[in-house]
Each structure stands twice: as structure tokens, then as C-alpha cells.
Amino acid sequence: MSEELKLSVLNKLEAEGSIADTKTAFADVSAETILGALKSLESQEKVTYKTLTTEVWTIESEGQEMLENGSYEARIFDAVPAGEQGISVAELSAKYGKVASLGQGTGFKNKWIKKNGSNIVRLVDSIVDQVKIDLETVKATGGHTNNDVIKDLKRRRLIKPNKTFSYAVSKGANFSTEIKKQATDLTVEMLQSGAWKNSEFKKFNFDSLGVSPNGGHLHPLMKVREEFRQIFFEMGFEEMPTNNFVDSSFWNFDALFVPQQHAARDLQDTFFLKDPAVANGLPAFWETVRDVHEKGGYGSIGYRYPWSIEEAKRLVLRTHTTAVSSNVLNKLAQQPYRPAKYFSIDRVYRNEAVDATHLAEFHQVEGVIADKNMSLGSLIAFLDIFFQKMGITNLRFKPTYNPYTEPSMEIFSWHDGFKKWVEIGNSGMFRPEMLRPLGLEEGVQVAGFGLSLERPTMIKYGVDNIRALVGHKVDLGMVQSNPACRLDKKMGKEVFQPTAIETDN
Ligand code: PHE
């Protein structure tokens, strides 16, 4: 349709040189449709056009009703039977309501009817419904030659002034009667085939406004992440770079003294990469790592199994951010000794069955503290302060096992809503079998801890299904309308549902 219209505009220009007014040339096409066609032709420089504005009168809804049924006064005249008797005022108003009261007045003025006692009778035999005729004229021509008619119809709110647009069209610089589809981009295929030589390209429109940018909204996970970051910064931590989501098994496991037979290194638990499947190389101290696994050292007898370099080279989606911590601790060890505090908050991946509270990916909040003369007591004291800043007091610790920490402790806090102790994190003192090969000198201890970002976020924002928080089912309205997060203040929304407490570790 629009292609047809464009062609007939071009053909008319070809035949007549110009189009004085599209309103007459294309009487049955709406101004919007014409404008669409002209804009498109103008962008190809086939035509130029000027907008013509015409003042017109259009019919209001009451006028429209009169066009269909006659003016009130004519309808009332018709309702009055000829003869002395006429019709009673009461009956007329019962039958015609508002039309009766308005129509009578004008009927009296026009001397079509008159009152006779409580009745209304005709004064003339027939009438001409001039108002209806005038409205028909206005509808057909947009106005009336008699200005008094316009004034009267306007006063009665039967018509209103309006503007219509039409266009005067001339040939453009690139005029032809043929329309080629214009290319918007120069593509590789066009260059290869040579098609670009005969292509017509769409001009850039530097006047277009572009897509207006939407205000950004932080995802709840990022709000909580920001709160954690501030707590870490407040406590003197440096942020670790976590932009390597793929790492070698070496950094993710071996450097952490996780034996190569450990269950976590199974296909069922870890995502291994197919292509590329292995890391290009390992850091120089890999042999030290091998030795500590095979033979032990630093007071340990090791695991006593043949360590495989191929296994260590296998690339994985990192299963914990401790893979980053081992890397950063190794860098720290290259410099003259200094105590250090590092944190990271980023995504990790586990090949796990997904359910309402678990996905195959989640965020870990992790901190490591390297210092001399540190004990488990130092770690406990630190965790007390750290969690206090989130409004969590009264921690309890339970011994657990991590290949890279000894002792290791699960962190529990009392949950007022659930009325029970809830696991909120994992922690421990890194083993010398991990720290010494990384290059950290004797006497330097490192404490570490980790927790998930999702669990506190779900509790804070009252989300009880992880799929409502992460993934393609997330409601963007939820992201836009959620309040800022304060970890140390109750937000009123926090849910107390058992699903929210399951552990990610
Ligand atoms: N990496 C551990 C986990 O995945 C958390 C942790 C970090 C534990 C540091 C101890 C020390 O759960």
C-alpha cells in the first residue's frame, strides 16, 4: 500500500511537474499516510515538500447526532401533531427529555410552534431543518460561506475549529519514478559480491532523537553487594580483581591443596571447559604444589598419590572465589612482607541440581586476612565485628572440613524469624600446605571466610524463589521498584521461610 502510494506520488510528479496540494491530488488518502510516504521519499531525495495548513471546522459529537437525527427543534416540530389539539408539554417532555426542552425553545423562537395552555401546537405546516443542512455543508467543505452560520453553530457547540495539513510536493535532487530498496549498512557480503557498487544507501539522519536512555536501576543483588563492599572498605580491605571466570584447576583446586580425587573435582560438581580444555601453562611453583600433594612438607605428610599435571591444567568455570584469593596471595608473597586484607564479591559456578534456592551459579562474598601471629581467635573476633555491621550479632561456630583450611568453621547466627540457628558462612585458617607453596613466609597466617550474596539478598528483599531474582523470569518492575538496601537495618520485607535458609556452601 505505502509502496503503491509512493509510486503514484512519483508518477504524478513525473506527469505534472509538481503537486500543488495533496488534499486535492490525493483526496481519499489521510494526511498521516501521505506524510509517511513523503518522509520516506524525502529521505531518498526523491521529493521535497512543504506543509500547507488549512483552518477547518469539524463537527462536535452533538452536531454529529443532529446530522443523523435532525436538529432538536426539527425533531420536536415533527413530534407535535398538526391541528388545534397539539401535544401536552408533559407528554412531550416525557417522550423527548432534554431534546424536548432544548428543541421547544428554538421552536418558539423560530415561530414553528407555540404554547396553548398546557399544550404545544404547530404554527406552520412544514419546516426546513436549516441547522442540519448547515451542518452537512460544514461537514462536506470544512466551513460555510455565511459567517453568521458558523458563529451560530459554534455558539451552540455543534462545531469546533481545527487545522488540517496537506502538502505541496516538488521533485527532489534524486528524482526518479523507480523506488530502490535502500541499504542501511555496508555489509561484508556486499563488499565480497561487489553489490555495494549498485546499491543505494540510506542517508544518516543526524536530526533523529535516538532512543531516550532509561534511568538505570541496580539489581537487588548489586545493592546488597554494594553494602558488603562498603563494610569491607570501612574495615580496610582491598578489592580483588575477579574478572577471570575461567581458571585452571590448578588455581581453583591444586594450589588450594584440594586433592585431585576430591569429590568437588567431579564432572557432577564442576563445569569443565571443552574448548579450550586446558590452560596454556602453569605458574613456576607447580612443582612445589605437586610435591606437597604427593609427599607433603611444612609439617605435613601430604596425600601420597601421584599428582597429574594434566589434571591441574584442565580449565574450569571457577567454583569459588578462593581461586582468586590463592592467586592474589601468591602475588602478595612476591613482595616484601606486609599484612594485607582482601575481599571479593563475584559469581561462581557449580554443576548442581537447581531448585527454588539454588542455581548453577551464584555470588560469593569472600575475605582473606594475612598477618603474623594470627589465631582462630583473631578470625572469630573479626567475624563478630564484620557481621555486627550487618546487624547480625550472637554468632556461633561449628567445626567443619575444607581441604584448604584447618581449623575450619561454619558460621551460624540465631534467626529470630525461624527461631533457630542458621548457617550463614564458612571460614577457616588456611593450611601451610597451601600457603607455603604460594610463597608466603613461615609465621604468616591467613584467615579466610566466605558466604553467598544470594541468601542475604533473598532474605532482605523478601524473595523466596531464586528464579525471581536471577534469570529470564526476573520481573524488571521488581528491579526498578525495590528500595535501597541497608544491611544493618530491618527492611520490613524480610521473609521467614525455611527455603531461604538453605546453605549454598
Ligand atoms: N571457598 C569456600 C566455599 O566455597 C569459602 C571459604 C573461603 C572457606 C575461605 C574458608 C576460607 O564455601
pLDDT at 107 over 70: yes
How many other CB atoms sit within 10 Å of the CB of residue 190?
A: 16
* Alpha carbon of 258 to ligand 1 centroid (Å): 12
Question: Which residue type sits at 448?
Answer: G
Q: Which helix (H) or strand (E) holds 174?
A: none
Mean per-residue pLDDT, 68-95? 92
Q: What pLDDT, on the 0 to 100 scale, is given for residue 268?
A: 84
How far, in Å, CA of 21 to CA of 264, rounded? 79
The residue whose C-alpha atom lies closest to atom 10 belonging to ligand 1 is: 427
* Alpha carbon of 345 to ligand 1 centroid (Å): 12
* Alpha carbon of 344 to ligand 1 centroid (Å): 12
In testing the pocket of ligand 1, which one of 237, 320, 435 has its CB within 8 Å of the most ligand atoms?
Answer: 320
Mean per-residue pLDDT, 207-222? 85
In testing the pocket of ligand 1, which one of 402, 429, 430 has its CB within 8 Å of the most ligand atoms?
Answer: 402
Question: Which residue type sits at 169?
Answer: V
What number does the ligand 1 atom closest to the CA of 367 have?
9
Q: What is the pTM of this model?
A: 0.59
Q: Which helix (H) or strand (E) holds 29?
A: none
Residues across the chain: 505
The beta-carbon contacts of 211-219 under 8 Å, at least 24 apart in sequence, are: 217/479, 217/480, 217/482, 218/479, 219/479
* Alpha carbon of 500 to ligand 1 centroid (Å): 20
What number does the ligand 1 atom closest to the CA of 505 have?
12
Q: What pLDDT, on the 0 to 100 scale, is given for residue 455?
A: 85
* Alpha carbon of 503 to ligand 1 centroid (Å): 13
The residue whose C-alpha atom lies closest to atom 5 belonging to ligand 1 is: 450
In testing the pocket of ligand 1, which one of 316, 322, 453 has its CB within 8 Å of the most ligand atoms?
Answer: 322
Q: Which helix (H) or strand (E) holds 444?
A: strand 444-452
Q: What pLDDT, on the 0 to 100 scale, is given for residue 391?
A: 79
The residue among 323 and 457 whose pLDDT is bigger is 323
* Alpha carbon of 308 to ligand 1 centroid (Å): 24
What number does the ligand 1 atom closest to the CA of 408 have?
10
What percent of the chain is predicted at pLDDT more than 90? 71
How far, in Å, CA of 278 to CA of 272, rounded? 9
The residue whose C-alpha atom lies closest to atom 4 belonging to ligand 1 is: 320
Task: Reduce the secondary structure of 458-496 to three states and give it as a string.
Answer: HHHHCCCCHHHCCCCCCCHHHHHHCCCCCCCCCCCCCCC
- Per-residue pLDDT reduced to its tens digit, 136-162: 999 998 899 999 999 999 999 999 998
Of 433, 323, 304, the residue nearest 368 (C-alpha):
323
Question: Which residue type sits at 319?
Answer: T
The residue whose C-alpha atom lies closest to atom 8 belonging to ligand 1 is: 427
Lining residues, ligand 1, CB within 6 Å: 320, 322, 366, 402, 405, 426-428, 448-450, 505
Mean per-residue pLDDT, 378-399? 91
How far, in Å, CA of 250 to CA of 138, rounded? 87
Query: Residue 442's Cα: distance from chain center in Å?
Result: 52
* Alpha carbon of 415 to ligand 1 centroid (Å): 22
How many other CB atoms sit within 10 Å of the CB of residue 462?
A: 17
C-alpha cell read off for 189 = 557480503
- CA distances for 351 relative to 188, 277, 400, 422, angstroms: 40, 17, 22, 24
- Strand-strand pairing, 246-248 and 315-317: antiparallel
C-alpha cell read off for 360 = 548453577
What number does the ligand 1 atom closest to the CA of 348 have?
4
* Alpha carbon of 175 to ligand 1 centroid (Å): 72
- Contact predicate 446/329, CB 8 Å: yes
How far, in Å, CA of 91 to CA of 100, rounded? 10
* Alpha carbon of 428 to ligand 1 centroid (Å): 8
* Alpha carbon of 276 to ligand 1 centroid (Å): 27
- Per-residue pLDDT reduced to its tens digit, 22-39: 999 999 999 999 999 999
* Alpha carbon of 490 to ligand 1 centroid (Å): 27
Query: Residue 319's Cα: distance from chain center in Å?
Result: 29
- Burial class of residue 171 (count of CB atoms within 10 Å of its CB; 0-12, 13-18, 19+): middle
- CA distances for 327 relative to 330, 435, 483, angstroms: 5, 11, 36
Q: What pLDDT, on the 0 to 100 scale, is given for residue 1?
A: 52
For CA atoms 258, 262, 264, 267, give the dihedral sign.
positive
What number does the ligand 1 atom closest to the CA of 319 have?
4
pLDDT at 204 over 90: no
- Kindly indicate the confidence band of residue 84, based on its pLDDT and cuts at 50, 70 and 90: confident
